Amino acid sequence: MSHSFPKLESVDSIVESLATAGYICNEQIATVVYLAAALEKPILVEGPPGVGKTELAKSCAQVTGAPLVRLQCYEGLDESKAIYEWKYGKQLLYTQLLKTQLSEVMEGATGLRASVERLHTFDDVFFSKEFLEPRPLLQAIDAEGGVVLLVDEIDKADFEFESLLLEVLSDFQVSIPELGTLEGRSKPLVFLTSNDTRDLSDALKRRCLHLHIDFPTNELEGRIVRARVPQITEAMTDHLVSFVSKVREMDLKKLPSVSETIDWAKSLVLLHADSLDEELVKSSLNALLKYEEDLTSVIENLVDLLNTEKQAANA
């Protein structure tokens, strides 16, 4: 099988090359990316916010060197914003032009029948590709050489929009009522991300490979932090990561995400901290937690959280 993405040819090489792009991933993620490239199927990435769903698509684009086409979904998104739109302004101008040129076209035709016949021989460009304004989905399948298409937060879009996506995702083609079906020139590597705010339709799910990214293990998160914040010391990373994983076990309104762990690590580096103590955590914790209630409940349990951590470090 020939793929359009030569860099995604084996699971191990994907893990490695994504790591060079700054995206540390586990074998599961790499396996799914490999399968998606090989089977030419879209990937539906689900998981809590901030675990690197969007980042995965970006990193894949970076690794393969393919351009990234991004479609951000929102309520009310429709085909004219996602797939194509007519350049109606130009079309209207064209009809104006046609009126002035009409006498030239009709020259010599006498009688209604002859005029209509003449009109039929005339090349119709009103609905033609020239007047088509491609939107992200059409751009993605129409590009020469593969691109990486990211359909972000598909769960935010309306239910009807999912149906629009189906044709693009399964056959890589777009049907335009006025023109017929436009076949894509290449098959893009497609990532759909979802925060699970609602159930997606079975039809959409069926067309995709599924990847559920959860919060990473301590070890993996440590590697991610070190890759993103190279200045941080190893001991500090271990502290930080196990602290965050304990916080995630608490009953909070919003659990800290990986990106927030990275933000916190960055702010700790800026503060020149070399170990976690109560004062430091209290003053910088708002990089990690975004709700007042969460902050207070973590600070209430801070002594416990830090203590168990020390024990773990000692052990």
Partner 1 sequence: MINAEQFSQDAPTDRLLAFIAFLRGRDILISPADSLVAMEVAGLVGYDDRTLLKNGLGSALAKSKFEIEVFNEAFEQYFGASSSDKAKNENEPRDVDDATDDSPSSQELGEQLSQAMQTQPELAKNLSSELVDALRSGDEAAIAIAVETAAQQVDVSSIKLLTQRGQYIRKMLDALGEQALRDAAVELESTEPAAFEAVQALREQLRNKVRDRVDRAYMVHASGDAEDMLDEALSNMSLGNVDQHHRARLKRLLERMTRKLAARHGRVRKRVKRGQLAVSPTLRKAMATDGIPFKPQWRKSIRRKPQILILCDVSGSVAAYAKFLLLFLHSLQDILPRTRSFAFSSNLGEVTETLRALPLEIAIERVNLKYGGATDYARAFEDFASLAMADINRVTTVIILGDARNNNTDPRLDLLAEIRSKCRQLLWLNPENKRSWGSGDSEMLGVIRNCDVAAECSTLKQLERVIDDLLVQLNC
- Member of 90, 129, 210, 282 binding partner 1 (CB under 8 A): 210
Tokens of 81: 């914003």
Report 190-209 residues binding partner 1 (CB under 8 A): 196, 198-199, 201-202, 205-206, 209
User: What burial letters (b/e) apply to 156-185, b meaning 16+ CB within 10 Å?
Assistant: bbeeebbebbebbbeebebebeeeeebebe
Q: CB of residue 207 vs partner 1: minimum separation in angstroms?
A: 9
Q: Which is nearer to partner 1, 98 or 235 (CB)?
A: 98
- Distances 21 to 18, 58, 89, 230, 292 between C-alpha atoms, Å: 5, 9, 43, 14, 35
Nearest approach in angstroms of CB 31 to partner 1 is: 4
**Minimum gap (Å) between residue 48 Cβ and partner 1:** 10
Which residues within the stretch 30-69 sit at the binding site for partner 1 (CB under 8 A)? 31-32, 34-35, 38-39, 41, 43, 46
Among 16, 20, 88, 90, binds partner 1 (CB under 8 A): 88
What number of other Cβ atoms are within 10 A of residue 268's Cβ? 24
Three-class SS of residue 85? strand
Instruction: Give the chain's largest Cα–Cα span.
Output: 101
Minimum CB separation from partner 1 for residue 158, in Å? 7
- Minimum distance of partner 1 from residue 272's CB (angstroms): 40
- As to burial, measured by CB atoms within 10 angstroms (0-12 exposed, 13-18 middle, 19+ buried), residue 134 is middle
Could you tell me the two tokens for 254? 């919003």
| Closer CB to partner 1, 75 or 277, in the complex | 75
- CB of 11 or CB of 280, closer to partner 1: 11
Whether the Cβ atoms of residue 237 and residue 265 lie closer than 8 Å to each other: yes
Contact assessment for residue 63 and residue 18, using Cβ atoms and an 8 Å cutoff: yes
Query: Which residue number, 157 or 276, has a Cβ lying nearer to partner 1?
Result: 157
Min separation Cβ 198 and partner 1, Å: 6
Q: How far is the CB of 26 from partner 1 (least distance, A)?
A: 9
Q: What is the DSSP string of 28-79?
A: HHHHHHHHHHHHT--EEEE-STTSSHHHHHHHHHHHHTPPEEEEE--TT--H
250 contributes a contact to partner 1 by CB under 8 A: no
Q: Among 273, 187, 209, which Cα is nearest to 31's?
A: 209
Q: Determine, following the binding rule CB under 8 A, whether residue 253 of this chain makes contact with partner 1.
A: no
Nearer to partner 1, 212 or 266 (CB): 212
Block residue for tokens 């209604």: 112
**Range 127-186, binding partner 1 (CB under 8 A):** 158-159
Dist. CA 233–CA 225, nearest whole Å: 10
Q: State the nearest-atom distance from the C-beta of 135 to partner 1, in Å.
A: 13
Q: Is 248 helix (H, G, I), strand (E, B) or coil?
A: helix
Closer residue to partner 1 (CB): 242 or 257? 257
Tell me which residues touch partner 1 (CB under 8 A): 11, 27-28, 31-32, 34-35, 38-39, 41, 43, 46, 76, 80, 85-86, 88, 91-92, 95, 126, 158-159, 196, 198-199, 201-202, 205-206, 209-212
